[in-house]
Structure 1
Amino acid sequence: MADWDDVRYFLAVARDGSVRAAAEGLGVNHATVLRRIAQLEQRLSVQVFEKRPSGYRLTAAGEEILEFAEQMEVSSHQLETRVFGRDQSARGLLRVTLPPFLATQLLMPDLADFARLHPDIEMEIHSTGEVANLTNREADVAIRFVVDRERLPANLHGLVGTELSGGVYLSRGLLAAWRAGASNVIRPIVINDRGVPDWAHEGEVRPTGIPFRVPDAEAQVAAVREGIGMTRLPCFVGDADPQLVRAPGIKPRVNGAIWILTHGETRKTKRVRLFVDFVSRRLAAYAPLVGGLSASAD
C-alpha cells in the first residue's frame, strides 16, 4: 500500500512537471523528492515518470495512479479539517488571507486589535491577490472582493461584509492646476492594463496622456499622489487619503462586496468563529467608507 507522504511528492511532480519546482513548493531539497519518488516506485513495482528534456512526464502507470493519488489527497484534507473543526480552544494558529489593499489600507489596525484581544492565537496574515485554496487548508479564513456571488465555490461558507465602491481619483494639486488652466499632462494610471480605461472618457477632467502602467496597488497609490495622473481606487483608499480627491463628474460605482469565507469544519473552531465575528462587526462599521458614502468630489 502506498504511503501518503510519498504520494504527495508524486502529486507535486505530476502537477509541476519538474522535480525542482516540486521541491521548492514542498520546501525540501531536490534529492528528497527523488528519494520519495523512488520509494513509491519500489513499493508499487512500477515506473511512474519518464524523464524527458521538457521535464517529467507520467507513464501509463503513473496516469492510473494519479486518479487514486488525488482521491487520497482529498481524504487527507477532509480528515485534517474534521480534526481541526473539533478544536475549540481560543489558541493556536489562525491563517488569514486578504488582498494587499485591505490589509494595508483598511483592516491592519483591526487585525492588530484582534491579536491584542487574543494573545494565545498565532496570527499568520497572507496579504496577496491570489485566491487561497481553503479546501486544501492553505488558509483558515479568506477576506475577498467578490463581484459575482454565483461564482463562489459551493463548498465555502460565505458571510457578506459590505458593498464595495470604487471611484476615480487624482491629487489635489493636479486638480487645482487643471482648474487654473495649467497644461500639465494628465495620464491614466493603470495596473498592467494595455488599453485606456473606460473611465478616461467620463467626467470633467479627461486624461490626455498615454497610460502610466504600474505593477501593483501600492505603486498605483504612490503614482497618483505624485500627480502623474488619475486612477480608479476603492473608495476606502481614495476617500481616506488627504492628498487625493475624487475626479469631478464621475460618481463612485459599486464593484461588488467584501466577503469573509471559511470552509467546512474549519469555521466551527473557536478561533475562526471569534475572528469572523470580530471582522464582520468592523466591516459593518466601515460600510459608509467602503461604500463610497463618506466623501464627495471637491
Structure 2
Amino acid sequence: MASIDWDDVRYFLAVGRGGSVRAAAERLGVNHATVLRRIAQMEQRLGVQVFEKRPSGYRLTAAGEEVVEFAEQMEASSHRLEARVFGRDQSARGLLRITVPPFLADLLMPDLADFAQRHPDIEIEILSTGEVANLTNREADVAIRFVVDRKTLPLNLHGLMGPQLAGGVYVSRDLLARWRVGATGPIRPIVINDRGVPDWASAGEIKATGAPFRAPDAEVQLAAVRQGLGMTRLPCFVGDADPMLTRAPGVAPRLNGALWILTQGETRNTKRVRLFIDFVSQRLAGRAPLLMGSSAPDE
C-alpha cells in the first residue's frame, strides 16, 4: 500500500465534517474538482471507498468510519507540531491571525491599524465572526472573545481577562420621539441568534410587542434598529456610540461577563503574539469606560 498524503487526509476530513464536496471546497479555499481528485487519490492509495454519495450529501462508508479515527490523530499531531514550531519563532515578522466579534472589530480597527503601522513586517489577518475560532486547530493565533463564565473556557487555552462588558436595550431616536407623542403600532423585538430584548428590560417604559424581527447577523440587527423597526439588546459600546440610537428609557445597562484575550499552547510564546497581546490589552483597558457602559453621552 502506498503511503498516505497528509494533504489528502485534510480533504477527507473536510468532506466528512461538511457533509459535501462543496462545503469542503469552501472551507479549504479550493475548487470542487480538487476535492474530488484528492478523495479519489486517497481511496486509490487505501484500496477502499471512504465515501458513499447520496442525495443528501456524502456519507462515510464503514471503511471511511475506521479511517476517521486515524485521520484525526494525524491532524492533532500536525497541529501540535505547528504550534510548537510557531511558539519558537521569535521574529517580529510573519503571519498573525486574529479573531474578534464583528462589532468589536469595528471598535478596534483604529488600534489594529496602529499596530500594523508599528510592526510593518507582521502580516495581519482578521477573522471577524461570532463563531469561536478553533485555536487548537490553528484557525487563529489570538482570539478576543466575550466570555460570560470563565469556567467555560477550555483548559488548554491561556487567557488574559480584559474589561467587563455591558449590554443595554436600544431604540432609534426617531422611534422614541414618535412613541413619546403617542404613535401607535408595535415596537418589535429585534432578535439575533434567539437573543433579543432581555427579560430585565420589562421594567422599562417601552415594551416590545408584536412578532419578532429576526436578524441573521449583527449588521442586519443594527440596520433594523436604526430603521425604527423596534428595540434590541446591543453592547453599550455599539449603542452609545451610534448617533441614531438611544437607550430605551427606564432600562439601565447590565454587566454580564468580560472580554478575554485567548491563545493556545506554545503559540503565546511567539514574539509577534506577545507583542499583539501586550498592545491590545492596553488599548482595551483604555476603552474600559465605553465597554462598561459608563461613558454614555448625555441626552
- TM superposition score normalised by structure 1: 0.90
Q: Which residue pairs with 1:293 in the alignment?
A: 294
2:157 and 2:140 map into 1 onto residues whose CA distance is: 12
Question: What is the aligned partner in structure 2 of residue 266 from structure 1?
Answer: 267
Question: What letter matches 2:66 in structure 1?
Answer: E
The CA deviation string for residues 174-198 of structure 1, in whole angstroms up to 9 with x for no partner, is: 3344334444653332226498752
Superposition pairs of residues 59-98 of structure 1, within 5 angstroms: 59-98=61-100
Residues 115, 173 of structure 1: alpha-carbon distance in 2 compared, 3 angstrom cutoff: same
Contact 1:144 1:260 in 2 (8 A): yes
2:44 maps to a residue whose letter is Q
Shift of 1:253: 1.0
Question: Which residue does the alignment assign to 1:5?
Answer: 7
Aligned-pair Cα RMSD in Å? 2.3
Contact 1:162-1:291 within 8 A present in 2 as well: yes
- For the structure 1 residues 92 and 196, does the alpha-carbon distance in structure 2 shift closer, same or farther, using more than 3 Å as the test? closer
1:240 Cα deviation from its structure 2 partner: 1.8
Distance 2:196 2:271 in 1: 47
Look up the SS of the partner of 1:241 in the other structure: coil
SS in 1 for 2:82: helix
Q: In the alignment, is the contact (CA less than 8 A) between 1:200 and 1:207 conserved in 2?
A: no
Q: Distance in 2 between matches of 1:166 and 1:195?
A: 11
Residue 290 of structure 2 aligns to a residue in which SS?
Answer: helix
User: Counterpart in 2 of 1:25?
Assistant: 27
Structure 2 SS opposite 1:21: helix
Query: Residue deviations 1:265-285, cap 9 Å, x none?
Result: 111111111111111111111
Specify whether residues 19 and 169 from structure 1 end up closer, same or farther in structure 2 by C-alpha distance, changes over 3 A only: closer
Gaps of 5+ in 2: none
Distance apart, 1:246 and its partner CA: 1.6
Cα deviations across residues 243-290 of structure 1 (Å, max 9, x unaligned)? 322222211111211111111111111111111111111111111111
Residue 3 to residue 246, structure 1, CA distance change in 2 (3 Å): same
User: Does the C-alpha gap of structure 1 residues 258 and 227 become closer, same or farther in structure 2, counting only changes over 3 Å?
Assistant: same
Change in Cα spacing, 1:264 to 1:128, as seen in structure 2 (3 Å) is same
Q: Higher mean Cα deviation, 82-91 or 237-246? A: 237-246
Which secondary structure does the structure 2 equivalent of 1:167 belong to?
strand
User: 2:169 touches 2:201 (CA, 8 Å); kept in 1?
Assistant: no
Hey, what does 2:224 align to over in structure 1?
223
- Give the SS at the match of 1:201: helix
1:126-275 paired onto structure 2 within 5 Å: 126-183=127-184, 185-191=186-192, 193=194, 197-199=198-200, 201-275=202-276
The amino acid across from 1:285 in the alignment is G
* TM-score of the pair, normalised by structure 2: 0.89
Identity across the alignment (%): 79
Are residues 42 and 256 of structure 1, via their aligned partners in 2, closer, same or farther at CA, if it must alter by over 3 Å?
same
Say if 1:217 and 1:199 are closer, same or farther in 2 by CA, change over 3 A: farther
Q: Tell me the CA shift for residue 43 of structure 1.
A: 2.7
More off after superposition, 91-100 vs 236-245: 236-245
Any idea what the Cα deviations from partners look like across 1:29-79, whole Å, max 9, x if unmatched?
333333333332333333333344443333333222211111000000111
**Residue in 1 that maps onto 2:123:** 122
Partners in 2 of 1:110 and 1:155 — Cα distance?
28
User: Secondary structure of 1:87's partner?
Assistant: coil
SS state at 1:34 partner: helix
CA shift in 2, pair 1:92/1:181, >3 Å:
same
Stretch moving more, 188-197 or 34-43: 188-197
Looking at structure 2, the residues matched to 208 and 44 of structure 1 have their Cα atoms a distance apart, in angstroms, of 60
Equivalences, count: 297
Q: Taking structure 1 as reference, are residues 185 and 44 closer, same or farther at Cα in structure 2, changes over 3 Å only?
A: closer
Structure 2 SS opposite 1:154: coil
The answer as to whether partners of 2:197 and 2:233 remain within 8 angstroms in 1 is no
Q: Which amino acid aligns with 1:265?
A: E
CA distance in 2, matches of 1:164, 1:267: 24
**1:163–1:256 Cα contact (<8 Å) kept:** yes
